[in-house]
Amino acid sequence: MTVHVPSPVVSAGKAELAMALGGFAIGTSEFVIMGLLPEVANQFAVTVPQAGYVISAYALGVVVGAPVIAALAARWPRHLLLMALIAMFAIGNFASALAPSHGALTVIRFLAGLPHGAYFGVASLVAASLVAPHQRAQAVARMMLGLTGATLIGVPLAAWLGQALGWRAAFALVAVIAVLSCLLIWRWVPRRPGDATASPVRELGALTRPQVLLTLAVGSVGFGGVFCVFSYVSPTMTQVAGLPLAWLPAVLALFGTGMIVGNMVGAWLADRALLPTIGGILLWNLVVTALFAWTAQHLWLAMFNILLIGTGAALGPALQIRLMDVAEDAQTLAAALNHSAFNISNALGAWLGGMAISAGLGWTATGWVGALLPAAGFAVYLASLGQMRRAGPAAAGA
């Protein structure tokens, strides 16, 4: 009997699509709540800043869940682990839609955030394993198109639904998309046995490797400038640049477009020269965030600058591949921790930007304050190169 083996290209494409749909659901859920906070606050009779605790709770869930789940589930077949993670995420969003109180919603959002980092880490490993070594970053970037595409399509769609039918409808929509992703992962992601030799101790061993820690440190600060600006883009554009409120969705779409372009172009560059690409992206982020302190006072320049700032997402696939190269036999934990690092960077950027504004430095201060974070990331990057030279070829990874 002749057994038909599907084309590797088709199989990889379908697997990437199935996993990207899960990323689309996760990205939509993560960002749409920012536009629905007033509705949540009104529903539960709390202030908007208090309603914002649900955002912090989700981010904390990402940071906590990524290493814990990755270490404990490293032996699982990866397609089954992906299904379990996106199913857990779907349940968390269905529960969010039914939350009876602000306190309950805060706890549920923490739980919904737990599978986030581990999902993207495992999906990145699967995507990279389906292509030739010199195409890994592009495969990861295609899978990550779900997350970046959510900022362009998913968030506006869910926000519109939340405005029309109530914020609970937005979470229900996300949950339905996550269920669909789970079904497609079951259908299209190749079955691969788990690593029988994996253990939590071995996975945690990644945290003893200097290059893993330095790469995570780059991610923990290097992307912060993007979110230092983006977290306060609405008031900056309307109060400083003079943007009519009705145009705000266009600015958000420009940011999302920039993320998609940066994701794909950065991955293409990373597949050709990984370490120079990481350093170049950090310097690029430094320049485009610093420019915002000036362009924010000129509407059209500010809008173009927002597009350029969005391209900073190029850092994600490059750092993901770098972690794969230096993690040795602790791939699952290292890949998942990349997303914990980016959530730390996001929180750090928003916090520092808020401090600058509260200190009376003005909305445009997010530009030059944000530029300090990729500058710090570049300093860590240089330290990583120095440590690699001192340690010899073994530290360089693949």
What range does the domain containing 221 cover?
A: 199-398
Average pLDDT of span 138-145: 90
Q: Is residue 345 within 8 Å of 221, Cβ to Cβ?
A: yes
If asked whether residues 345 and 362 sit together in one domain, one would say yes
Q: Note whether 247 and 372 are same-domain residues.
A: yes
| Higher local confidence (pLDDT), 382 or 334 | 382
Q: Which two tokens stand for residue 78?
A: 């990866």
Residues 23 and 121 occupy one common structural domain: yes
Token pair listed for 148:
């970046």
Residue 270 belongs to domain with CATH number: 1.20.1250.20
Model pLDDT for residues 94-106, shown as the tens digit of each residue: 999 999 999 999 9
Residue range 134-139: mean pLDDT, rounded: 89
CA dihedral for 25, 26, 29, 30, sign (positive or negative): negative
Of 150, 165, 196, which residue is a domain's last?
Answer: 196
pLDDT band at 396 (very low <50, low <70, confident <90, very high): low
For residues 172 and 89, give the distance between their C-alpha atoms in angstroms, rounded to a whole number: 12
Nearest residue to 73 via CA among 336, 342, 324, 321: 336
The 10s digit of each residue's pLDDT in 205-259 is 777 889 999 999 999 999 999 988 887 887 888 889 998 877 877 887 898 899 9
Rounded distance, CA 320 to CA 308, Å? 21
Residue ranges of the alpha helices (H) in 246-314?
A: 248-270, 274-295, 299-310
Judge if 213 and 246 occupy the same domain.
yes
- 12 or 102, greater pLDDT: 102
Query: Are both 35 and 169 inside the same structural domain?
Result: yes
- Do residues 260 and 329 share a domain? yes
Closest Cα partner for 30 from 65, 10, 7, 59? 59
Q: Can you give the pLDDT at residue 54? A: 87
Q: Are 24 and 154 in contact (CB under 8 A)?
A: yes
How many structural domains comprise the chain? 2
Distance, in Å, from the CA atom of 12 to the CA atom of 190, rounded to the nearest integer, reads 9
pLDDT on residue 393: 61
Per-residue tokens: 66? 């990524």
User: Mean pLDDT over all residues of the chain?
Assistant: 87
Number of neighbours of residue 326 by Cβ within 10 angstroms: 24
**Domain closes at, from 152, 170, 196:** 196
**Least confident residue range of 175-179, 329-333, 349-353:** 329-333
Q: Which of 196, 211, 235 is the last residue of a domain?
A: 196
Q: Is the pLDDT of residue 20 over 80?
A: yes
Write out the DSSP string of 228-245.
HHHTTHHHHHHHTS---G
Structural Rg of the chain based on CA atoms? 20
Do 191 and 204 fall within a single domain? no
* Confidence (pLDDT) at 142: 92
Residues 192 and 273 in one domain: no
- Encode pLDDT of 287-333 as tens digits: 999 999 999 999 999 999 999 999 999 999 999 899 988 988 777 88
List Cβ neighbours of 393 (8 Å cut-off, separation of 6 or more). Answer: none
Q: Are 285 and 223 in contact (CB under 8 A)?
A: yes
What is the pLDDT, as a whole number, of residue 395?
55
Confidence of residue 43 (pLDDT cuts 50, 70, 90): very high
pLDDT at 398 > cutoff 70: no
pLDDT greater than 50 at residue 42: yes
Which two structure tokens, joined as six digits, stand for 277? 């690409």
**Residues 51-61: tens digit of each pLDDT:** 878 887 888 89
Q: How many CA atoms lie within 13 A of 140 on its CB side?
A: 35
Handedness of CA 76, 77, 80, 84 (dihedral sign): positive
Looking at the structure, tell me whether residues 189 and 221 fall in a common domain: no
**Residues 251 and 373: beta-carbon distance below 8 Å:** no
Token pair listed for 26: 């996760």
Question: What is the SS3 string spanning 115-181?
Answer: HHHHHHHHHHHHHHHCCCHHHHHHHHHHHHHHHHHHHHHHHHHHHHHHHHHCHHHHHHHHHHHHHHH
Are 178 and 204 part of one and the same domain? no
Q: Based on the fold, state whether residues 73 and 51 are members of the same structural domain.
A: yes
Same domain, 178 and 304: no
pLDDT given at position 154 = 86
Name 81's Cβ contacts closer than 8 Å, sequence gap at least 6. Answer: 73, 118, 122, 194
